Structure 1
Amino acid sequence: MSNNDAFTENLLVKVAWYYYKDNLTQTEISEILNLSRNKVVRLLDRARAENIVQFHIKGHGVNCLEIEYKLINVFNLPRAFVIPTPKDELSRSLSKAAAQYIENNINNNELLGFGWGEAVSRTIESLTIDPSIEVSMVTLTGGVNYYFHKRDYSLEGGVDKFKGGIHVIPAPFLASTEEMAKNMLSEPSVRNILDLASLSNHVVVGIGGISSASTIIKEEKMTLNELIYIKNQNAVGDILGQFYDAEGNILDLPHHHRLIGTHLNTLKKLNNVIGVAGSPQKVDAIFGALKGGYIDTLITDEETAVALIKKAEVHVK
């Protein structure tokens, strides 16, 4: 494929993604891409004619953008799925992409493991599973019952898709004391779910940044003062509530001894861990997660991917 052909297909896919996935108007797309509205209309027509737009948006431009190749090569990733950076609602767009990725890769009688956070819950919400197959769901941490009661992006009304069953850790995300956490983790009902989670065929996790806007703060799983303390210990991000530094090394924090869930060292051994994250504020967190080897498949947006590659190039120098 020539550079010109690749550019054209990339443009076709961007226009299709913005229109069909992000629900932008043709005028909004023309402003983002600096194209005339008529050009956008022609590109949409061509995308349909060339079967780039089907039940899912597909094609070299979405799944194999040049930026994906760079991201995979730079971080030695097995897979990456990079979407056009949306005008807004990045988390929602990434969740739709994660859902599409899972739909394209899930098989009958498989088990999906899920972490917690906004991107993860929205991925579940967006997920459409072929009714002819049985898929099961298991949680990787406690405290996920929280999403069954949220109204803006809950699992409510959307769990029937898991015909194979839903397995939820019957415990909070964070115990009040280390001793209580040890007692909970020794309970068969908790231990059995954690053991089951280790058998997941695909695992979806969010990657949290270190800021007052972090989900871990918004969902009151931690106070801002606690997060400031953790940041001062050189933390750059968290997965499943466990914090790590810029090289992906897990920090030794009292907070970690009160968590009820899958340890990051265990996560590294699981099949196809899918990290769903993006935004300038999360570049350091995603970079650390990639350096630590916690992610097998990264689902992010173009701007974040470019920032990650640039950071890696500086890191090497």
Structure 2
Amino acid sequence: MAGTTRRRSLGRISGENAVIEVAWMYYHDGRNQQDIAEALGISRATVVNYLQEARETGLIRITLAAPAFTAHRLSLELCTKFGLAEAYVVPDDGLAPDPAFARVVRGAALWLPDLLAPGDRLGVAWGRTVYALAERVENRAIEDLTVLQLVGSMATPYGFTAEACSTRLAQRLGARCLNLHAPAVLSRAALAEELRAEPILRAQLQALQGVNKLLFSVGTVSENSHVVSSGLATPEELAAHVARGAAGVICGRFVDAMGRQMPGETEARMIGIDLPRLVGLEMGILVTPGLDKVTPSLAAIRGGYVTHLATSTRVAEALLAAA
């Protein structure tokens, strides 16, 4: 009948096909949710649910082009001030710490695949930020990519162990994963030396020497630092390093305000890559999601670990003001 809107039902279309149908109409045809609901004979709530499922299962990708975040004023100022290749800065004005953290991590997760190339050997640190990023990276296989765990395992009360970070990221990127099958820190230096000499671990440590890109978030030296909760250092050891000028933690190792590795008894008991190997790499990708990491991030930048920075507007302004 003339003047009437043609309506069709999803009928036998169900499951993934129904989700694809709704997603196509919304994102490619530009139709609104109510129009789709009426056209397919379903409720608007069902349309919303299908669109959410399409995002969660990876059937669609919603992204903003990287230049939107790497070419504005703060990004360029960070690059000029600190000699960075690129800085990816997301807006966080008015956001509480947790939403701001999530936004920076999401931005870094969107950016990361564009920074990687076939044949790369990506060294991965550990911690809440890196693990959250690995969880949010969309599945995108990169040919001949290897992900390397840079510091040994630890008994952390959190879900973001070192091996969890590297394994999850490798899964997302279709990469080969090389984990360290040893604790991050041993009780005695002699025991650590013996373990490093074991053929399997010696080969794993040797493989770390081929790293050409680094993904990390520098740790703090506050009382609630993860180096204490994970058992890498006692509260007394943390206090002693702070008294001697510790400004941050990179791959479980303390660094001073200039990013130089600080000597200490713990060093001889650790299993992982030596920090000097991470200075001056082809690419060092630092993710700084909060104001609490301004001082340690400056140390990492000064130390030569960073070429690319993912952060927020407030943190970027704080970095520029503190430099």
C-alpha distance in 1 between matches for 2:103 and 2:141: 24
**Alignment-derived partner of residue 128 in structure 1:** 138
**Alignment-derived partner of residue 75 in structure 2:** 68
Per-residue CA deviations over 1:114-140 (Å, capped at 9, x if unaligned) read: 111111111211122324745332111
Pick from 91, 105, 108 the counterpart of residue 98 of structure 1: 108
C-alpha distance in 1 between matches for 2:209 and 2:193: 19
Paired residues for 1:69-84 under 5 Å: 69-84=76-91
Give, as a single letter, the amino acid of the residue that structure 2 aligns with 1:65. H
Per-residue CA deviations over 1:44-82 (Å, capped at 9, x if unaligned) read: xxxxxxxxxx73122543121211111111111222212
Q: Please tell me whether residue 87 in structure 1 is matched to residue 87 in structure 2.
A: no
Per-residue CA deviations over 1:209-259 (Å, capped at 9, x if unaligned) read: 111222222333322222111111110111011112112222121122221
Offset of residue 278 of structure 1: 3.4
SS at match of 2:200: helix
Pick from 85, 102, 124 the counterpart of residue 114 of structure 1: 124
Alignment gaps of 5+ in structure 1: 1-53, 313-317
Contact 1:109 1:164 (8 Å CA) reproduced: no
Pick from 184, 187, 202 the counterpart of residue 176 of structure 1: 187
Which protein shows a greater Rg? 2
SS at match of 1:285: helix
C-alpha distance in 2 between matches for 1:147 and 1:105: 31
Give, as a single letter, the amino acid of the residue that structure 2 aligns with 1:244. V
TM-score, structure 1 normalization: 0.72
Pick from 270, 277, 284 the counterpart of residue 273 of structure 1: 284
TM-score, structure 2 normalization: 0.71
Contact 1:139 1:168 (8 Å CA) reproduced: yes
Q: Please tell me whether residue 226 in structure 1 is matched to residue 237 in structure 2.
A: yes
C-alpha distance in 2 between matches for 1:144 and 1:296: 28
CA shift in 2, pair 1:150/1:59, >3 Å: closer
Contact 1:212 1:224 (8 Å CA) reproduced: yes
**Alignment-derived partner of residue 214 in structure 1:** 225
Please identify, of 154-163 and 134-143, the stretch whose mean Cα deviation from structure 2 is larger: 154-163
C-alpha distance in 1 between matches for 2:66 and 2:147: 29
Contact 1:274 1:298 (8 Å CA) reproduced: yes
Give, as a single letter, the amino acid of the residue that structure 1 aligns with 2:70. N
CA shift in 2, pair 1:146/1:281, >3 Å: closer
Contact 1:144 1:168 (8 Å CA) reproduced: no
**Alignment-derived partner of residue 295 in structure 2:** 284
Contact 1:217 1:223 (8 Å CA) reproduced: yes
SS at match of 2:246: coil
Offset of residue 146 of structure 1: 6.2
SS at match of 1:112: strand
Query: How many residues get paired?
Result: 258
SS at match of 1:203: strand
Q: Please tell me whether residue 259 in structure 1 is matched to residue 266 in structure 2.
A: no
CA RMSD of aligned residues (A): 2.8
Per-residue CA deviations over 1:132-158 (Å, capped at 9, x if unaligned) read: 74533211111169699669xx56877
CA shift in 2, pair 1:246/1:108, >3 Å: closer
**Alignment-derived partner of residue 311 in structure 2:** 300
Alignment gaps of 5+ in structure 2: 1-60
C-alpha distance in 1 between matches for 2:168 and 2:320: 39
| Identity across the alignment (%) | 23
Contact 2:117 2:142 (8 Å CA) reproduced: no
Paired residues for 1:26-45 under 5 Å: none
Please identify, of 65-74 and 188-197, the stretch whose mean Cα deviation from structure 2 is larger: 188-197
Contact 2:124 2:147 (8 Å CA) reproduced: yes
Please identify, of 172-181 and 56-65, the stretch whose mean Cα deviation from structure 2 is larger: 56-65
Give, as a single letter, the amino acid of the residue that structure 1 aligns with 2:200. S
Give, as a single letter, the amino acid of the residue that structure 1 aligns with 2:190. E
4+ runs of 1 displaced by more than 4 Å?
131-134, 144-151, 154-159
